[in-house]
């Protein structure tokens, strides 16, 4: 049993290390893509407001329809602003992921703790 364990333990630990390492960088990659999306939306918001201001300045005595379009462009918000108590799908998914990671870690530590106690006896 000891020989079998000494054969597979280094391989298993290497696999576990690679999995944790890759999980970390994949999550980091996903978060960076979300940030890029957020800042692209902010740039779009600024461009639309600038376009609305430019159209309003060029069309001094604008018609009611054009004024309505300009107000719509100026009011565009692509990144949702949450009020107190509101949540998005992404925020809820993040909370669920965090909870599941915590449960896995707790299960792993309790299993590890039981194995250590059994070896001491």
Domain layout of the chain by residue ranges: 1-79, 84-121
User: Which bin fits 72, alpha (ψ -120 to 50), beta or left (φ > 0)?
Assistant: alpha
For tokens 């893509």, the residue is 33
Distance set, CA 61 to CA 18, 44, 70, 94 (Å) = 65, 26, 13, 49
What are the pLDDT tens digits along the chain (121 aa)? 788 888 888 898 999 899 988 989 998 998 899 899 989 988 988 888 888 888 777 876 657 767 777 777 777 777 666 677 776 667 777 788 888 888 888 887 887 777 666 666 5
């Amino acid at each position: 049993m000891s020989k079998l364990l000494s054969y597979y333990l280094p391989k298993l630990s290497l696999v576990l290390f690679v999995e944790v390492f890759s999980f970390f960088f994949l999550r980091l990659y996903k978060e960076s893509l979300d940030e890029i999306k957020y800042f692209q939306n902010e740039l779009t918001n600024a461009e639309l407001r600038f376009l609305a201001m430019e159209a309003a300045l060029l069309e001094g005595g604008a018609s009611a329809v054009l004024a309505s379009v300009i107000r719509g462009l100026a009011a565009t918000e692509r990144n949702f602003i949450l009020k107190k108590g509101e949540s998005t799908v992404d925020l809820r998914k993040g909370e669920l992921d965090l909870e599941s990671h915590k449960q896995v870690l707790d299960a792993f530590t309790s299993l590890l703790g039981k194995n250590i106690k059994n070896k001491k006896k």
